[in-house]
C-alpha cells in the first residue's frame, strides 16, 4: 500500500504527540537523565519514538507497512545505539524488538480497537505489556548472554520502569489523539 502525504503527515503528528507524552512523563519521573543517551532512561525517548511510530502505522495503514517501518527503525537503532549487554548475540536484539512489537500489536488489537479504549485507565495496559516484555527479555538475556544479569525479581521490575513509562506515554498519546478536538485538528493539518 502506498502512503499518501496526508496519511504520512498524520502518522508523524500523532507520533510527535506520543513522544512528547513519553518525554513529559519520563521527565517527571527521572528529570533530565532521560536525555542522556548513555543512560537506560533514554529508552523512554527511543522506544517511545520507535513504537509510537509503529503503533500509529498500525492504526492508519496496515500491519505490513508497520512492520516495514519497524525493520527500518531496527536498522537505525543498530547503527546508532547498540545495547552493550547483547552485542555478542544480535538475535537477542531482534527478540527485544519483537517482544515490544508484540506488546504493541496485542494492545492495538485487543484494547485499542475495542470499546475499552475510551477509558483512560486502559492507557496503563500498554505500560504493563512493555514491562512484561522486558521481564521476558531479561529472562532470555540471563540464559543466552555471558554478562551477569540479576535474578532478583524486584530489581528486574525496577529496571523495567522506563520501558513501562514509554508504553504508558504511547498509549496516552493515542488517547489524546483520539479526542474529537485533537483528531479534527490533526486531520485539518494533514489535509493542508
Q: What is the pLDDT of residues 146-174, one digit of tens each?
A: 655 656 666 666 667 777 788 878 888 88
- Region 6-13: mean pLDDT is 80
Would you say 192 and 5 are in contact if contact means Cβ atoms under 8 Å apart? Answer: no
pLDDT higher at 19 or 79:
19
Q: Give the per-residue pLDDT at 65.
A: 85
Residue 84 has pLDDT above 70, yes or no: no
List, as one string, the DSSP characters of 43-61: HHHHHHHHHHHHHHHHHHS
Would you say 3 and 56 are in contact if contact means Cβ atoms under 8 Å apart? Answer: no
pLDDT tens per residue across span 47-81? 888 889 888 888 888 888 888 888 888 888 777 76
CA 57, 14, 37, 165 torsion-angle sign: negative
Q: Give the per-residue pLDDT at 146.
A: 60
pTM for the whole structure = 0.80
Q: Where are the domains of the chain?
A: 5-191
The set of residues, in sequence order, having a beta carbon less than 8 Å from that of 123 and lying 6+ positions away, is 168, 171, 172, 174, 175
Would you say 168 and 25 are in contact if contact means Cβ atoms under 8 Å apart? Answer: yes
Percentage of the chain exceeding pLDDT 90: 0
Q: Looking up cell 509503529, which residue turns up? A: 54
Amino acid at each position: 500500500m502506498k502512503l499518501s502525504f496526508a496519511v504520512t503527515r498524520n502518522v508523524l503528528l500523532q507520533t510527535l504527540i506520543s513522544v512528547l507524552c513519553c518525554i513529559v512523563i519520563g521527565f517527571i519521573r527521572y528529570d533530565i537523565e532521560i536525555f542522556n543517551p548513555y543512560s537506560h532512561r533514554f529508552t523512554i525517548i527511543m522506544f517511545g519514538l520507535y513504537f509510537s511510530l509503529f503503533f500509529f502505522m498500525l492504526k492508519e495503514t496496515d500491519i505490513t507497512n508497520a512492520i516495514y517501518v519497524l525493520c527500518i527503525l531496527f536498522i537505525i537503532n543498530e547503527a546508532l545505539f547498540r545495547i552493550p549487554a547483547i552485542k555478542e548475540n544480535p538475535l537477542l536484539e531482534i527478540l527485544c524488538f519483537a517482544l515490544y512489537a508484540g506488546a504493541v500489536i496485542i494492545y492495538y488489537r485487543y484494547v485499542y480497537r475495542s470499546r475499552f479504549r475510551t477509558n483512560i485507565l486502559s492507557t496503563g495496559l500498554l505500560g504493563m505489556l512493555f514491562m512484561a516484555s522486558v521481564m521476558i527479555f531479561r529472562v532470555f538475556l540471563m540464559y543466552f548472554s555471558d554478562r551477569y544479569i540479576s535474578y532478583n525479581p524486584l530489581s528486574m521490575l525496577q529496571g523495567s520502569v522506563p520501558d513501562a513509562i514509554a508504553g504508558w506515554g504511547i498509549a496516552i498519546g493515542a488517547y489524546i489523539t483520539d479526542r474529537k478536538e485533537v483528531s479534527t485538528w490533526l486531520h485539518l493539518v494533514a489535509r493542508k
